[in-house]
Chains A and B, each alone.
Chain A
């Protein structure tokens, strides 16, 4: 189940991002996205390929949004890449253990959480496309401050664990 969903996510990410980039005339970017997606599918055993793919797909999405790709495709592509990236790591973690206690239950729980989080993320990301909010400098600064606080929380969480 994990493998099938991972493949579907990669195909979806490549389809939405690559297709929209090609449609806007950014052929090179489209081909690069397609190529990396194919490589990811073919060479899943490469340790870093999932992280590099997510990084490149995000860059490609930013590039596409600048070139005028419809925001929906960019956000959907990045969310699909995010899901594929997570499933890739989950599959590796499963493979690392020779024995799994209730593997199907573990997979189902992971899928449920992943779909809920990615669905929420996608919905929240698409919300501004429907509800237009004008960003003033004050709000931007507030969001910036929130981002800084959020990042410091992440760092604080990571540090004691190390």
Chain B
């Protein structure tokens, strides 16, 4: 429209000047411009009558999986001469193949098709309206419209397959599973010895013990293995998110949470997720593949947030988690988090803290200077003290240097329950 305005102003100015000075040549100078404007008015686009529809090859994918998007714009009105169709793609998606804008002309009933391939990082993407502008051949008269072609893509976080993650909550559920239940019965691990009862298998009789006592026979008991309630807490506070070399530590925390959720659900456990950041995003506990999908969808949407209420972990809503269940906190951890976590432990929860190492992560992106090394060392000492204090309170801590594969760290730390840990919290 600015073109028409400029041309109109020039033509009008020349006409006025010509008429005021009664100079015919100045009037003649305005004629080409008036003819331009006349042609634009004559051939300008009428009201735009367009329909847009969009199809996508998948609405949920894992990171960096290509998705084909096909956008069709159909002209249900009159002939449109110069049509510019623009589709906007932004974070977390980016175009890897094809184009998102098209310049064409549309006859009545004709359909223009845009096809392109996108892929991206974890997140949720809702396609915005398609912008269409149509102009006359001279581009003077332009009409713009936005067409709704709603579709959404959820890019799920990458899930790493973990080997066994050993947990030992104080209470388990009734169904058989891989978690030691702190109760005697049939199992693999030796649990204790009791007096022989009718029906006990002969191979369970502890012959050495029986030989020492005159009262009778004694039978070995093994620890029952059941499934457990696991509550995952992802720390999504702004203060916990560290950025270095165009990377975010929060992304690693999300990946770790997704992998842990997958591992616990694969073992048959009942898993819930709490994303603790700008607000509380609670995924109710559940089992199996459906719950896995729910958790991954929640993690796909997770963003670091800020809230005065949830600035510290003190307001963790413990009522969300069954009493004496297993809680897994995925957080870089800071000094202020010690008290809330110890309180959780004191309330009877078995707490496992998986902590992506923020000092190592940030120091890796800084220039190798003496003062940087000193600062990193001080921060590292502070972090080590924090982790030690947590361990002293009976909290299991896994410190993860994110340049090491998570599977490797988990396998080294949680592949088997440490011997010293087995006794902690054993019921009388």
Residues on A lying within 8 angstroms of B by beta carbon are 51, 54-55, 58, 61-62, 65, 71, 74-75, 78-79, 82, 86, 89-90, 93-94, 96-103, 106, 109-110, 113-114, 117-118, 120-122, 124-129, 133, 135, 140, 143-144, 147, 150-151, 153-154, 157-158, 161-162
Contact = CB atoms under 8 A, between A and B. Distances in A.
B36 A93 contact: no
A126 B35 CA distance: 13
A117 B84 contact: no
Interface string B18-38: 010011111111011111110
Given A74-B29, A97-B84, A135 B24 contact: yes
A9 B79 CA distance: 29
A117 B101 CA distance: 29
B103 A93 contact: yes
B99 A99 contact: yes
B363 interface: no
B116 to A, nearest CB: 9
A119 to B, nearest CB: 9
B1 interface: yes
Contacts of B398: none
A71 B12 contact: no
29 contacts: A65-B29, A71-B28, A75-B29, A82-B33, A90-B139, A93-B103, A94-B103, A96-B86, A97-B84, A97-B86, A98-B99, A98-B100, A101-B105, A101-B112, A106-B104, A109-B137, A113-B138, A114-B137, A114-B138, A120-B35, A121-B31, A121-B36, A126-B28, A128-B28, A135-B22, A140-B19, A143-B15, A144-B16, A154-B37
Contacts of A62: 14, 17, 26, 29
A124 B31 CA distance: 7
A78 B29 CA distance: 7
A98 to B, nearest CB: 4
Contacts of B144: 161
Contact of A158 (B5, B6, B84): B5
Given A100-B103, A106-B82, A133-B24, A117 B14 contact: no
B41 interface: yes
B25 A71 contact: yes
Contacts of A113: 39, 43, 137-138
B8 A151 contact: yes
Contacts of B33: 78, 82, 121
Given A62-B14, A65-B23, A93-B135, 7 more contacts: A62-B17, A96-B86, A98-B100, A109-B81, A143-B15, A157-B141, A161-B1
A96 B103 CA distance: 8
B262 to A, nearest CB: 39
Contacts of B84: 93, 96-97
Interface in B137-196: 137-139, 141-144
B36 A82 contact: yes
Given A98-B99, A101-B112, A153-B41, A121 B104 contact: no
Interface string B68-106: 000000000000011011100000000000011111110
B18 to A, nearest CB: 9
Contact of A102 (B23, B29, B104, B114): B104
A27 B383 CA distance: 77
Contacts of B81: 109
B10 interface: yes
A161 B32 contact: no
Contact of B36 (A58, A103, A117): A117
A110 B103 contact: no
B4 interface: yes
Nearest to A120: B35
Interface in B95-138: 99-105, 112, 114, 135, 137-138
Contact of A58 (B25, B29, B35, B143): B29
Contact of B34 (A54, A74, A89, A150): A150
Contacts of B31: 75, 121, 124-125
Nearest to B43: A113
Contacts of A121: 31-36
A154 B41 contact: yes
A123 B103 CA distance: 32
A131 to B, nearest CB: 11
A96 B101 contact: yes
Contacts of B39: 113, 117
B6 A75 contact: no
A97 B105 contact: no
Nearest to A70: B25
Contact of A161 (B8, B27, B138, B142): B142
A94 B83 CA distance: 10
Given A90-B139, A99-B103, A147-B15, A124 B6 contact: no
A121 to B, nearest CB: 3
Given A82-B33, A161-B143, A143 B102 contact: no
A51 B137 CA distance: 18
